[in-house]
């Protein structure tokens, strides 16, 4: 499917190493990594609050987590633009900045870590934590030595999915970022631009790169899933 990397290796390389392409790829990569890391923390925190805490409206919050799955990306972008862009009712304007890209990606990737961590947290034998407490471990030690190692595979799984989603994200970013080349243009928007101007080779080249990254992430997720259950079988 990606066979339009025709024109030979050199034009592929030229396309991929054009300053604009490099900038776009760099931006996509760095923001996606950042988003993945932020989600690791916030996703775990949200999952913890949903599983271990009890408060009113908890199941409503639980349902709301899936909103980014249900809401079209373009609408997500528009809503963020409305709230945090020019004419913002709360006076925050980050439109056309990298922060905007970050926020859009945080929106669409929100459910991933939460949803991978939740079932593991639910299944986690709380008696392990009680045993650790009876042996003298304080709350932080219990989290660090008992809970976290058992959650880590799930967190990593979620992080990988969030990263894969973030790096290819298009719809939510296209409005709020303004798509300024070298500033806020992400890889997917760059590809789109090249398609519109009929520069298939450049579009294909960067697509191929994104494709490889995606495949790499898929393999990583598969490997992580296997790693995750290694303590559960002899």
Partner 1 sequence: MGIAARNVTKRFGDFTALDGVTVEVETGSLTALLGPSGSGKSTLLRVIAGLERPDAGTVLLDDRDVTGLPPQERGVGFVFQHYAAFKHMTVADNIAFGLTIRKRPKSEIRERVAELLALVQLSPFGDRYPAQLSGGQRQRMALARALAVEPSVLLLDEPFGALDARVRKELRVWLRRLHDQSKVTTVIVTHDQEEAMEVAERIVVMNEGRIEQEGGPQELYESPASEFVMSFVGPVNRLDGALVRPHDVEVAIEPNGATEEAMVERIVHLGFEVRVELVRADGAPLWAQLTRDQEQELELAEGQIVYVRPARATVFDH
Partner 2 sequence: MRRYGLRTFALGYLVVILLAPVAVIFYRAFEHGFWPAWHAVTTPDAKHAFLLTIELALIAVPLNTVFGVIMALLIVRHRFPGVGFVNAVVDLPLALSPVVVGFSLLLLYGRQGWFGHWLIAHGYRVVFAMPGMVLATIFVSLPFVVREVVPVLREIGTDQEAAASTLGSSGWQTFRRITLPAIRWAVGYGVVLTTARALGEFGAVSVVSGRIVGQTETLTIHVQAAYEGFDLVGAYAASVVLALLAVATLVLMTLLKPKEETR
Q: Which of 37, 45, 131, 180 binds partner 2 (CB under 8 A)?
A: 45
The least CB distance from residue 225 to partner 2, in Å, is 11
Nearest to partner 2 of 49, 152 (CB atom): 49
Taking alpha carbons only, the member of 157, 146, 145, 144 closest to residue 117 is 157
Contact region with partner 2 (CB under 8 A), list: 10-18, 29-37, 48-56, 144-152: 48-56
Q: Are 189 and 178 in contact (CB under 8 A)?
A: no
Q: Which of 10, 19, 53, 134 binds partner 2 (CB under 8 A)?
A: 53
Q: What DSSP designation does 7 have?
A: S
Taking alpha carbons only, the member of 89, 67, 64 closest to residue 76 is 67
Q: Which of 23, 94, 110, 205 binds partner 2 (CB under 8 A)?
A: 110
Which partner from the list partner 1, partner 2, none does 133 bind, CB cut-off 5 to 8 Å by kind? partner 1
Nearest to partner 1 of 56, 233 (CB atom): 233
Q: List phi, psi (to 5°) of 231.
A: -85, -5
Question: What does the alpha-carbon distance between residue 64 and residue 46 come to, in Å, rounded to a whole number?
Answer: 12
In this structure, the number of other CB atoms found within 10 A of the CB of residue 123 comes to 9
Asked if 48 is part of the footprint of partner 2 (rule: CB under 8 A), the reply reads yes
Which partner from the list partner 2, partner 1, none does 22 bind, CB cut-off 5 to 8 Å by kind? none
Nearest to partner 2 of 10, 87 (CB atom): 87
Question: What does the alpha-carbon distance between residue 102 and residue 59 come to, in Å, rounded to a whole number?
Answer: 28
In this structure, the number of other CB atoms found within 10 A of the CB of residue 212 comes to 11
Q: What DSSP designation does 224 have?
A: H
Asked if 165 is part of the footprint of partner 2 (rule: CB under 8 A), the reply reads yes
Which partner from the list partner 2, partner 1, none does 195 bind, CB cut-off 5 to 8 Å by kind? partner 2
């Amino acid at each position: 499917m990606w066979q339009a990397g025709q024109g030979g290796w050199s034009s592929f390389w030229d396309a991929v190493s054009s300053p604009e392409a490099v900038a776009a790829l760099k931006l996509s990569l760095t923001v996606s990594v950042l988003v993945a890391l932020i989600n690791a923390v916030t996703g775990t925190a949200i999952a913890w609050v949903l599983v271990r805490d009890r408060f009113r409206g908890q199941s409503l919050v639980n349902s709301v987590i899936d909103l980014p799955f249900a809401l079209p990306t373009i609408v997500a972008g528009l809503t963020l633009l409305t709230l945090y862009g020019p004419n913002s009712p709360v006076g925050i304007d980050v439109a056309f900045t990298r922060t905007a890209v970050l926020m859009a990606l945080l929106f669409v990737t929100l459910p991933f870590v939460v949803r991978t961590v939740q079932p593991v947290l639910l299944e986690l034998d709380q008696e392990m934590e009680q045993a650790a407490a009876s042996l003298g471990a304080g709350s932080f030690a219990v989290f660090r030595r008992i809970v976290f190692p058992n959650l880590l595979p799930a967190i990593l799984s979620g992080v990988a999915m969030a990263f894969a989603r973030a790096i290819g994200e298009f719809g939510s970013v296209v409005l709020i970022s303004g798509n300024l080349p070298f500033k806020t243009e992400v890889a997917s928007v760059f590809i789109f631009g090249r398609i519109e101007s009929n520069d298939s080779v450049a579009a294909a080249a960067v697509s191929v790169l994104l494709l490889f990254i995606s495949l790499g992430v898929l393999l990583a997720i598969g490997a992580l899933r296997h790693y995750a259950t290694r303590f559960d079988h002899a």
